[in-house]
């Protein structure tokens, strides 16, 4: 009887453990879901903080221009430091001269301008820049990959002129390329990558230029980034 009682006790304990395992697994899964949910909420809060900080800085710069507050490398650095101290985010504000280049995309008919989110301006050296456009447009119902090679243009300052070269165009679309009101090329890209490798020259000051203020905000762990552009004309 004693032995039977002991054996029955072991059997009951094993059965109880088997019954408890699903509950333990469910509990562990629930804790993981809570953990992931918490991380998702934290990232969303961080993303909102980065996004709204970028918007606030861009509005501050516009207000500075409206009130004729000097906008230069020193004042932009001071502005970045103040927002960095207030938010704990990493903030970089730079200014670049930007030429009035833009593209008219076919078949969507949209226009994308230097200084907008559809163009990245990279300064290569003192007198050389690369303008990289994106021809897809979210407002036209397209998925935008932001690979910025539709087209890529190289701009070189030579004396009083600008030499503009089409470096690449990787898209089924094609675009007309303008410098302000002047048409430089029609139907660049598309099948056969028309006009890629071609160059033309234009007077630098025939239509003027403007200043582009580029704002980059990111968190210290580099989980979230935000870019804002402000054009000063």
Strands (E), the chain: 90-98, 101-106, 111-113, 119-125, 128-133, 152-158, 161-168, 174-179, 182-189, 199-203, 210-218, 225-232
| C-alpha to C-alpha distance for 225 and 216, rounded to whole angstroms | 7
Q: Can you read off the two tokens belonging to residue 142?
A: 């397209």
The pLDDT value given to residue 8? 47
pTM over 0.75: no
The pLDDT value given to residue 23? 54
| C-alpha to C-alpha distance for 90 and 216, rounded to whole angstroms | 8
| C-alpha to C-alpha distance for 166 and 194, rounded to whole angstroms | 10
Query: How would DSSP label each residue in 154-213?
Result: EEEEETTEEEEEEEE--SSSEEEEEETTEEEEEEEETTTTBTTT-EEEEETTSS--EEEE
| 113: preceding bond cis by omega (within 30 degrees) | no
Contact 99, 209 (CB under 8 A): yes
Q: Can you read off the two tokens belonging to residue 222?
A: 């580099």
The pLDDT value given to residue 27? 55
- SS3 of residue 224 by DSSP: coil
The pLDDT value given to residue 115? 80
- Residue 140 DSSP one-character state: G
| C-alpha to C-alpha distance for 231 and 96, rounded to whole angstroms | 10
The pLDDT value given to residue 183? 95
- Separation of CA 36 from chain center: 26
| C-alpha to C-alpha distance for 39 and 12, rounded to whole angstroms | 41
- SS3 of residue 141 by DSSP: coil
| 107: preceding bond cis by omega (within 30 degrees) | yes
Q: Tens of pLDDT along the chain (233 residues)? A: 444 444 444 444 554 544 555 555 555 555 555 555 555 678 888 899 999 999 999 999 999 988 989 888 899 999 999 999 999 999 999 887 889 999 999 889 999 998 888 998 888 888 999 999 999 998 888 888 888 889 999 999 999 899 999 999 988 889 999 998 899 999 999 888 899 999 999 988 767 778 888 899 999 988 888 888 888 87
| C-alpha to C-alpha distance for 88 and 218, rounded to whole angstroms | 10
């Amino acid at each position: 009887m004693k032995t039977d009682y002991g054996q029955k006790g072991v059997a009951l304990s094993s059965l109880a453990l088997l019954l408890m395992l699903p509950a333990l697994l469910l509990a562990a899964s629930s804790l993981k879901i809570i953990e992931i949910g918490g991380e998702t909420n934290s990232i969303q809060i961080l993303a909102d903080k980065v996004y709204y900080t970028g918007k606030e800085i861009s509005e501050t710069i516009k207000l500075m221009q409206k009130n004729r507050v000097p906008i230069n490398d020193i004042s932009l650095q001071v502005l970045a430091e103040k927002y960095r101290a207030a938010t704990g985010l990493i903030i970089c504000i730079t200014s670049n001269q930007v030429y009035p280049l833009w593209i008219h995309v076919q078949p969507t008919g949209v226009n994308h301008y230097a200084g907008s989110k559809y163009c990245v301006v990279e300064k290569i050296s003192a007198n050389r820049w690369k303008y990289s456009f994106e021809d897809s447009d979210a407002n036209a119902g397209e998925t935008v990959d932001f690979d910025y090679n539709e087209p890529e243009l190289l701009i070189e300052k030579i004396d009083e002129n600008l030499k503009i070269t089409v470096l690449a165009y990787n898209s089924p679309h094609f675009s007309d390329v303008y410098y302000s009101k002047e048409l430089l090329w029609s139907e660049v890209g598309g099948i056969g990558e028309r006009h890629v490798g071609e160059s033309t020259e234009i007077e630098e000051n025939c239509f003027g230029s403007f200043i582009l203020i580029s704002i980059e905000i990111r968190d210290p762990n580099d989980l979230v980034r935000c870019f804002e552009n402000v054009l000063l004309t």
